[in-house]
Structure formats: structure tokens, C-alpha cells
A and B are shown apart, each in its own frame.
Chain A
Amino acid sequence: MSAAPSLAPQVRLRHDAARGQWVLLAPERVVVLDEIAHAILSRVDGQTRIEAIVAALAREYDAAEAEIATDVREALEDLHRKGLVRL
């Protein structure tokens, strides 16, 4: 896993106001994000390192970094397998 994940080319994160949710948009795909996935992806910009994302989320949710790190890795690996995130 490289340091700074990014969205795959032509994958867009946007708020879906009509349904009150956040989604990832890609060719022929709409992936509905839960709160945790959105919290992670809103910090994925191709520059922020995974460690920094974990640290920020641990602060925000007042949780242990080790626990957050597992969630972040699992979520990003899942999106990577779906072709939506580059690691």
C-alpha cells in the first residue's frame, strides 16, 4: 500500500441531496457510502497519507488509532478491488 491513496480517474465523490446521502460515481456505478466510508473518502485526495487520515479520524471520533487503522485499511482495500480507489 503506497502512502497517499487517491480516487481512481473519473471517480467522483458527491453529495446526493435527493436521497440525503454521499455517493461515489463511476462508469455505470453508484456506490452509496455509509458515514465511515464518507469520513475516510472525504480525506482521500492523493496527497494525504494513510497515517494522517487515520490520525485525523481517531481525533474526530475520539477512538484508538489502531482500531481506526483497521477500518480505514479494510474500506480502502475494498474500494481498490472495485477499481474506485488507487492505493
Chain B
Amino acid sequence: MSAIPPPIGLLAELTHRCPLGCPYCSNPVALEKRGDELDTATWQRVMREAAALGVLQLHLSGGEPTARRDLEDILATAAEAGLYSNLITSGVLLDRARLQTLAAAGLNHVQLSIQHAEAEAADRIAHFRGAHARKLALAEQVREAGLALTINAVLHRGNLDAVAEIIALAEQLGAGRLEIAHTQYHGWALRNRAALMPEAAQVEDSRRVVAEARQRLEGRMVIDFVAPDYHATRPKACMGGWGRRFLNISPSGAVLPCHAAETIPGLRFDRVTERSLEAIWYGSEAFNCFRGTAWMPEPCRSCDRREIDWGGCRCQALALTGDAARADPVCALSPDHGVMAAVTAEPAGEALAWRR
């Protein structure tokens, strides 16, 4: 096996608390409690360790990271350590003054979520009245503060038909980048899968709309599109490969190869309070378990794409086959691929469990 490269990105889930109730949330159904969250000094140490380890990009996430009143202190330490910082936020707890404070602490980039292009539909999905209007105001303030702006929208049955309007809204808000991502079915989203799963025709239409917009907006707004797994025939290189590029830290300090990894039974995750980030990245059982290609079963093991998609998503393999060590069933070469067609052919569910 080739040498393990240092990680390039850290997703720091500062808290699981969030005022919104989006049913597509990929946070675990059993959310971590406030009392279990890492304290300021520990997060600051983690930022310095991450930078020393080779992390270049920091993604401050959650939950809603601005629910932490010490976000400025954590951010300032990260900036001093040279990390490029990205705040992934719903925006509803932010105002102009706090945004200025965050910018002064060294924030580079704000990734602001929207749920739909129309206020009423957006607020219904977010389960928060007035959320959409606040987000529109905040987008303007992000630009005023001189920060880079990404608009992010998670796509599902309830907003996929509005993808053209979502793109137009991002353009109107002056975003330099738009991330439109089909729902990844982990956590709350997996629980709500039957209600969120789009129709095949919707998926096709949206692909066309996105492709046209990309061409039209080239050089003005970058559009990153996360394709829907359940309607695909080749898996994604989840996280760029397990333990290759990213690490994720949960609010209580568990260091994870991806944000859903705790769903995998039998894996033990080291905590930042127990070992250094470097020791965990290179030496922990959880990171080494699915790293590289040695763990792979067929058809991955002999596949010429094994170092392109790295076997796909372990959590998806678990959710759909019951075994995290099988090929991602998104792949048409997987013996389990039939399960994808079975799920997408299920009748649409109506009930949504709001995240709480």
C-alpha cells in the first residue's frame, strides 16, 4: 500500500443544535447533546493540530455552527494557524454585526443554505417561519462584508422541480458558487427517504436544467452538482476515498472518516480528547479499516475503477445491504445493484419527520 497522504480538509461539526428542522438533514437521528460538546480550548487545539497535520481547508459545520457563541474564538485560532475557513450555515442566527465580527476573526467563505426558491415552500421545508427572508438578507450582508458566498441547496422530491428558480436566485444573490446536491440518505434523510426520493423524470429534467445553466453561467458562477446516487450506475468516490482527503469531528470530539461513519457497527472511533489528530489520522483502526484497496471485496478488488471511486460509500453499502464492507450498490457491477431500483420504485411516502 502506498503511503498515506495527509488530510486536506477538516469538517468540524461544532454542535448538533440547529433551529431548523429540515427533513433531509444527514445528521444522526440521535443528536449529540449540548453538554457533550467539546469546549473552546479543545477546538482551538484541534485547529492547530489540523493545520500542522496538513489540513488546508476548514469547514465549520453542525448542526448550526453559529449556535456556538465561541465560534469567533475557534475561527481566530484556525485563521492564525493558516486554515482557509468556510462557514456552513443556515444563516438564521446571524446578523450583520456578528458577520462583521466573524470576518474580522478571519472567515473567508460563507456557504448559505436555501431550501427552495419561494419563501413559503422554503420555510415549510426548513420548518421555520421567516427563514427564507432572513437568508436573502444575509446573502447581501455576506457580500458587503467582503466574504466569498456559496449558495447551497439540497434537492429532493419537494424542490427538484424548482431547480431552475433556485439557480436564478443564487445568481440574483450574487453567489460566486452554487452547490446543488441531491439528498444523501443518511441520518434523518434516510428516515425520510420515501418522502424525499424524487421521480426518475424529475431527476432527468433537473440534469438538463443544471447542464444548461452551467454552460450559460461559465466564468460567472461555479455550479457544483452532487448527482443523485439512487438513479446512478457508478458510485461516487465518497469523501474522495475513506481516510484519503478528509476528516470529520463530531460535536463531542469523535474523529470520523465521514459524517455518517458512526452508523457502522463495530468500528471504534478515537476522540480528540484521547489522542492527537495525527495519531488518529495515521493510526486509528477506524481510518485504516476501509483505507486504500486491500479491504475490498469483488467486484471492486479487480475493478479498474477501484482507485477512482474507492468502492463508493461505506455507509450507503451498510444502509442498503446491511454490510459496510460490500461494494456500494449504486454501482451497476455490484451484485446488490437491484436494491436501488427496488427503492426508487417504491411508492412515494408522504410523512416527513422534522429533524429535532
Contacts and interface: CB of A to CB of B under 8 A. Distances in A.
B8 A30 contact: yes
Interface residues of B, number: 23
A11 to B, nearest CB: 8
Contact of B108 (A12, A19, A81): A12
B53 interface: yes
Given A9-B146, A14-B56, A16-B54, 6 more contacts: A14-B82, A18-B53, A26-B148, A27-B108, A27-B176, A28-B224
A10 interface: yes
Interface string A25-51: 111101000000000000000000000
Interface of A: 9-10, 12, 14, 16, 18-19, 23, 25-28, 30, 81, 83
27 contacts: A9-B148, A10-B108, A10-B109, A10-B147, A12-B108, A14-B56, A14-B82, A18-B6, A18-B53, A19-B6, A25-B56, A25-B84, A25-B108, A26-B148, A27-B86, A27-B109, A27-B111, A27-B148, A27-B150, A27-B176, A28-B177, A28-B224, A30-B57, A81-B219, A83-B176, A83-B219, A83-B222
Interface string B81-106: 01010100000000000000000000
A81 B222 CA distance: 11
Contacts of B57: 25, 28, 30
A86 to B, nearest CB: 12
A26 B146 CA distance: 14
Contacts of B54: 16, 18-19
Contacts of A16: 54, 56
A7 B56 CA distance: 18
Contacts of B6: 18-19
Interface string B49-67: 0001110110000000000
Contacts of A26: 84, 148
B113 to A, nearest CB: 15
B147 to A, nearest CB: 6
Nearest to B143: A9
Contacts of B109: 10, 27
B148 A10 contact: yes
